[in-house]
């Protein structure tokens, strides 16, 4: 691609003054063949990681959490970079200084991949909780409609039925635009993308055109990065104010106070912006009622424009009522027929690590969930309470009355410390018993994280077990008939991050092994 095409529409502070005929190369500089000017220089690829640079590449120096790309410019040149984009002054001949390297990378990536979002129906989903589940519900609905669908999210990236590991909820702009292009070339016409607050703050999805933007909810999270709730909310608004197509549709949870604020901001910015709301408590466009929630699934009614529709789903819990409504709202905005919507909802199965049931014949319920915020943990425990039907169940063999909620959770290291005591308070207040353990301690000592959690405890109904595997085994060991065990925090993750090393660890594997051991031990005891 020509250099001029790559930089089209990108903001920059300065470009080299023409005439210029000495692009960078291995071993120094070389003249451009045939009197070619720098503006017509051929660029064979783009990279922001110097290790991925090849001959003829443009290298974009961005500043990350740990490393500054400007420190790797010389390495990029040695590997074959012929041009550099960065924020700092540099004497390098073909160096383009820009105001913001990440914004420049988003622009360059969009140009390099041929502006793929313009040929797709792109749906962006943001909010603190519910993003992942909603993407899978919506994917099921769109596929029931006969559409080819791409998905970009926390658990994985999917191009139709092909699955790729997800390194970030929303990848860097170069990978994001590359995924969109791959999806387009594979025949996808719809793409559903989780849009994290980090992605919005770091311009990873800039220059993409979103046809639909969904706001699920807003509660405390990521304050280690955003510092304040207002900064966090301001970043979330970018999807709707700056990136949503003026003819697109905003889908907003009207039960959420920040959802109401978002609507006010949208109307002030663009009075003609299409807005569709959903909720249970408020007078939204789409309302849910007659909710029947059990461990077997959900049944409820959705009302829209004077008509009522019976909803049935394998998913469980009140949070999933909201997730289903949000997916239905997006589907309505895309003019999906109601019969197709209902069919897609029925087809949606359990989602890995999202209120995921573990059932292998035990007499108690086990649920794995990604809940890692105060609000998500509160919703998780409150929903589990709904599955305990008898107020005074009989005594179990262990000598206690069944029907308890036993919660196992921890908090991630190197993240927002302020939410740790708040989660400790929620867990001890709402659970019958809590086992406080490790999540991903990262560079922190697990015991220090646990102390922060313990400082918020409101009751002495907990024990501390830093070893997550042992904590899960203890929960299984103490569970009685009719109890509910909640394993919160890691969900779909199959590792633990400890001191910079990722060790294989999967909540589901551990709990299944513990249940099988207990059931086998029980059978042996009966034989004796």
Q: How many domains, in total, are found in the chain?
A: 3
CA trace torsion 484, 292, 389, 367 (10° rounding) = 0
In contact, 469 and 512? CB cutoff 8 Å? no
What pLDDT score was predicted for residue 12?
A: 79
In this model, does residue 166 exceed pLDDT 90?
Answer: no
Three-point CA angle 270, 273, 277, nearest 5°: 125
Which H helix or E strand runs over 288?
Answer: strand 286-294
Going by their DSSP bridges, the two strands 210-215 and 244-253 should be labelled as parallel
**Are residues 153 and 11 part of one domain?**
no
What value does the mean pLDDT of the chain take? 89
Q: What is the CATH number of the domain that holds 132?
A: 3.40.1190.10
Domain boundary among 328, 347, 366: 347
Residues 237-261: pLDDT tens digits? 999 999 999 999 999 999 999 999 9
Q: How far apart are CA 106 and CA 48, in angstroms?
A: 11
Which residue carries 């209120």 as its tokens?
355
**Are residues 402 and 335 part of one domain?**
no
Buried/exposed code over 268-278 (b: 16+ C-beta within 10 A; e: otherwise)? eeeeebbbbbb
Domain boundary among 92, 112, 132: 112
In contact, 96 and 7? CB cutoff 8 Å? yes
Greatest Cα pair distance, the chain, in angstroms, is: 92
In this model, does residue 32 exceed pLDDT 50?
Answer: no
Residues 472-500: pLDDT tens digits? 999 999 999 889 999 999 999 999 999 98
491 cis-preceded (ω within 30 degrees of 0)? no
**Are residues 286 and 151 part of one domain?**
yes
**Are residues 121 and 240 part of one domain?**
yes
Residues 6+ apart with CB under 8 A from 321: 280, 288, 291, 293, 298, 300
Going by their DSSP bridges, the two strands 121-126 and 95-97 should be labelled as unpaired
Find, among 145, 522, 102, 116, the residue nearest to 330 by Cα.
Answer: 145
Cα 281 to its chain centre, rounded Å, is 26
pLDDT band at 224 (very low <50, low <70, confident <90, very high): low
Residues 295-332: pLDDT tens digits? 788 999 999 999 999 999 999 888 999 999 999 999 99
Find, among 374, 230, 367, the residue nearest to 295 by Cα.
Answer: 367
Q: How far apart are CA 205 and CA 453, in angstroms?
A: 35
Residues 6+ apart with CB under 8 A from 193: 122, 123, 124, 125, 135, 151, 152, 153, 170, 176, 205
What pLDDT score was predicted for residue 393?
A: 45
Task: Of 132-136, 216-220, 278-282, give the lowest mean pLDDT range.
Answer: 216-220
What pLDDT score was predicted for residue 404?
A: 95
Residues 110-128: pLDDT tens digits? 999 999 999 999 999 999 8
Domain boundary among 87, 112, 137: 112
In this model, does residue 399 exceed pLDDT 50?
Answer: no
In this model, does residue 30 exceed pLDDT 50?
Answer: no
Provide the domain limits for residue 300.
116-347
Axis crossing angle, helix 507-527 with helix 468-478, rounded to the nearest 10: 40
**Are residues 246 and 274 part of one domain?**
yes
**Are residues 151 and 46 part of one domain?**
no
Q: What is the CATH number of the domain that holds 478?
A: 3.90.190.20
């Amino acid at each position: 691609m020509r250099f001029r095409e790559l930089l089209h529409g990108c903001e920059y502070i300065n470009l080299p003054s023409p005439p210029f005929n000495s692009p960078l190369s291995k071993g120094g500089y070389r003249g451009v063949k045939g009197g070619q000017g720098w503006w017509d220089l051929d660029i064979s690829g783009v990279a922001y990681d110097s290790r991925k640079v090849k001959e003829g590449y443009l290298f974009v120096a961005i500043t990350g959490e740990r490393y500054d790309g400007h420190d790797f410019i010389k390495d990029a040149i040695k590997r074959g970079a012929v041009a550099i984009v960065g924020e700092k002054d540099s004497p390098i001949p073909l160096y383009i200084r820009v105001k913001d390297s990440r914004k420049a990378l988003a622009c360059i990536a969009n140009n390099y991949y041929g502006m793929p979002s313009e040929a797709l129906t792109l749906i962006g989903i943001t909010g603190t909780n519910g993003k992942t589940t909603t993407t899978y519900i919506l994917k099921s609905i769109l596929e029931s409609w006969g559409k080819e669908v791409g998905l970009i999210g926390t658990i994985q990236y999917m191009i139709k039925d092909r699955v790729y590991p997800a390194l970030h909820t929303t990848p860097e702009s170069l990978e994001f635009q590359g995924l969109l292009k791959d999806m387009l070339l594979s025949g996808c016409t719809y793409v559903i993308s989780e849009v994290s607050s980090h992605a919005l703050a770091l311009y990873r999805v800039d220059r993409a055109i979103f046809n639909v933007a969904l706001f699920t909810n807003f509660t405390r999270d990521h304050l280690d990065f955003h510092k304040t709730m207002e900064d966090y909310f301001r970043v979330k608004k970018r999807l709707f104010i700056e990136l949503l197509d003026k003819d697109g549709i905003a889908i907003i949870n009207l039960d959420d106070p920040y959802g109401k604020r978002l609507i006010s901001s949208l109307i002030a910015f663009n009075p003609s912006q299409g807005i569709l709301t959903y909720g249970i408590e408020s007078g939204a466009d789409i309302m849910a009622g007659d909710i029947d929630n059990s461990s077997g699934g959900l049944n409820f009614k959705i009302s829209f424009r004077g008509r009522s529709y019976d909803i049935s789903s394998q998913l469980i819990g009140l949070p999933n009522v909201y997730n289903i409504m949000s997916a239905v709202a997006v589907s309505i905005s895309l003019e999906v027929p109601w019969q197709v919507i209902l069919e897609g909802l029925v087809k949606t199965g359990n989602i890995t690590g999202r209120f995921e049931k573990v059932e292998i014949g035990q007499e108690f319920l086990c649920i794995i969930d990604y809940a890692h915020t105060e609000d998500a943990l509160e919703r998780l425990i409150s929903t589990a309470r709904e599955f305990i039907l008898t107020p005074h169940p009989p005594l179990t063999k262990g000598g206690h009355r069944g029907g308890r909620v036993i919660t196992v959770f921890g908090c991630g290291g190197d993240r927002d410390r302020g939410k740790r005591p708040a989660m400790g308070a929620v867990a001890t207040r709402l659970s019958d018993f809590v086992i406080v353990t490790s999540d991903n301690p990262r560079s922190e000592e697990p015991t220090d994280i646990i102390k922060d959690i313990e400082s918020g405890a409101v009751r002495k109904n907990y024990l501390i077990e830093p070893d997550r595997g042992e904590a899960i085994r203890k929960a299984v060991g103490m569970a009685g008939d009719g109890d509910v065990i909640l394993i919160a925090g890691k969900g779909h993750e199959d590792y633990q991050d400890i001191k910079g090393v990722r060790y294989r660890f999967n909540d589901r594997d551990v709990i299944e092994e513990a249940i099988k051991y207990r059931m086998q031990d029980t059978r042996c005891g009966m034989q004796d």
